[in-house]
Structure 1
Amino acid sequence: MNDIDEIFRLYKIATDFQKTKFTVCWPEFERKLIETEITENRQWKIVASDKIICVWATTFNDPQIWEERNNDPSVYIHRIATNPDFRGQNLVREIVKWATIYARENQKQFVRMDTVGNNPGLINYYTKCGFDFLGLLKLKNTKGLPAHYNNATVSLFQISISSERESNKSLTF
C-alpha cells in the first residue's frame, strides 16, 4: 500500500504519453481498484536502486475481454506502466520471463494480455517480446471495466506455456 501514490504517478505519466501517441488512453483508475489488487497480491513492481521502475497487475480471470477463452487456465497481464527514466530497457521482456514462471507455478497454460485498438507498433513490439498476436476482438460486454474499454476493439496476445522454454529462474520481483 505504501507504493500506491507512485503507482498512480506512473499511470499518469503513461496516460500522458498515450495521449501523444494513440487515440485511446487510459482513464483515471479508481483508487479502490488498485487497493484491491494490492490486497489480493495482484499488483507487481520491478525495483532498481530503491526506485520503482515498472508496475503491472495480474488476474487469473478476464471473462469480459477473453469471453469463452477465459475457460483456459491463464494469467492475464494488465496496465504495464514504466518509469520514463527506464524506458527502452526491454522491461516487457522481463515481465514475460517472470509471467512465464508465475504461470507455471500456478498451473496455468497461457500468459495473456490485451491492448485497446489496432496499434501495429504495439502489436509488433509485443510479438517481439514473445507474445503471439491472436487478432482483434470487438468487446460485447464492458460493464464494470475501466472506461477505455467502452465500445472498444482489443488486440489479443498470448504465450503458450507448454511451448515456451523456461529462462532465468533467478529473477526476483
Structure 2
Amino acid sequence: MKIRKAITSDIENILKTTRACASKMREQKIFQWNEHYPNYEAFKEDVDREELFVLESKEKIIGCITISTLKDDIYNEINWLTPDEKQIYLHRLAVHPDYQGQGCAQKLMSFAEDYALDNNFLSIRLDTFSKNIRNVNFYERRGYIRLGEVFFPKQSDHPFYCYELILKK
C-alpha cells in the first residue's frame, strides 16, 4: 500500500469509495454522509490546493484523506487548545468497506500526523459525526481531545464533535 497526492482524474474513483462508505454507514443507521457530501466539488478543490491524498493497494484507490490548512468558518465557535497560527484540518477520511479493519485508516492518520510534524504544525484539528461511535473511539484512542460540537445542516440534525491533537516533537 502507498499514499500519494491525488490528481483530478482520481476523483471518480474516490467518489466510488466514499459512496460505498456512505452506503455501509446508512446500513448501520449512521447518517453521516449523503447526496450532498462528500461531493465532486469538494474533492476538486482539495486536488487544486494539493491537499487530497489517496491510499492505493495494487494501484487501486482504497482510501483518501484531506490534509488542509484552511479553517472552515464553522470552527470559529470552538475553543481550540492552540491559537490559530499553524494547524492542519483533516477532512473526508475514507476507507472502502472492503478494506476496513485492515489498518488503512490508521495508515492514513499516521501519514497525516507525520506530515503535520514534518511541516512544523502546532496541532491537528478535525470533526467526526457524533453518532459514528467507531470514529469517535478511533480518534480518542489516538489521543485527540474532544472540544465541542458543530452542526452541518445539510448533513445531519445531529452534531459533529470537534477534536484537536497537540503535536509534540
User: The TM-score by the shorter chain falls in which range?
Assistant: 0.7 to 0.9
Which of 13, 32, 36 is equivalent to 2:45?
Answer: 36
Contact preservation (8 Å) 1:131, 1:157: no
Q: Which residue in the other structure is 1:8 paired with?
A: 15
User: Structure 2 length as normaliser, TM-score?
Assistant: 0.78
1:134 corresponds in structure 2 to 146
8 Å CA contact 1:118–1:155 kept in 2: the answer is: no
How far does residue 72 in structure 1 lie from its aligned partner after superposition?
4.4
Whole-Å separation in 2 of the counterparts to 1:121 and 1:100: 20
Deviation at 1:107?
A: 2.2
1:19 positional shift: 0.7
CA offset digits 1:15-74 (Å, max 9, x no partner): 101112244321233422211211211111111211112112121122434215371421
Aligned partner of 1:155 in structure 2 is 161
Range that drifts further, 114-123 or 89-98: 114-123
* Distance (Å, rounded) in 2 between the aligned partners of 1:85 and 1:23: 18
Normalised by the size of structure 1, how large is the TM-score? 0.77
Correspondence list, 1:42-121, <5 A = 42-67=51-76, 69=80, 71-121=84-134
Percent of residue pairs bearing the same amino acid type = 18
Structure 1, unmatched stretches of 5+, are 166-173
Consecutive aligned runs of 4 or more in structure 1 exceeding 6 Å deviation: none
**What is the one-letter code of the residue matched to 1:40?**
R
- Opposite residue 65 of structure 2, the aligned amino acid is W
Cα RMSD (Å): 2.4
Structure 2 gap segments, 5+ residues each: 1-7
Contact conserved, 1:118 with 1:136, CA < 8 A, in 2? no
SS at match of 2:50: coil
- Say if 1:120 and 1:83 are closer, same or farther in 2 by CA, change over 3 A: closer
Post-superposition CA distance 1:60-97 (Å, at most 9, x none): 12243421537142111111111222111122221222
Indicate the SS of the match to 1:148: coil
Q: Which amino acid aligns with 1:8?
A: L
* Aligned residue in 2 for 1:169: none
Cα distance in 2 for partners of 1:31, 1:126 equals 26
Q: Quick check: 35-44 or 56-65, which moved more?
A: 56-65
Aligned letter for 2:112? Answer: A
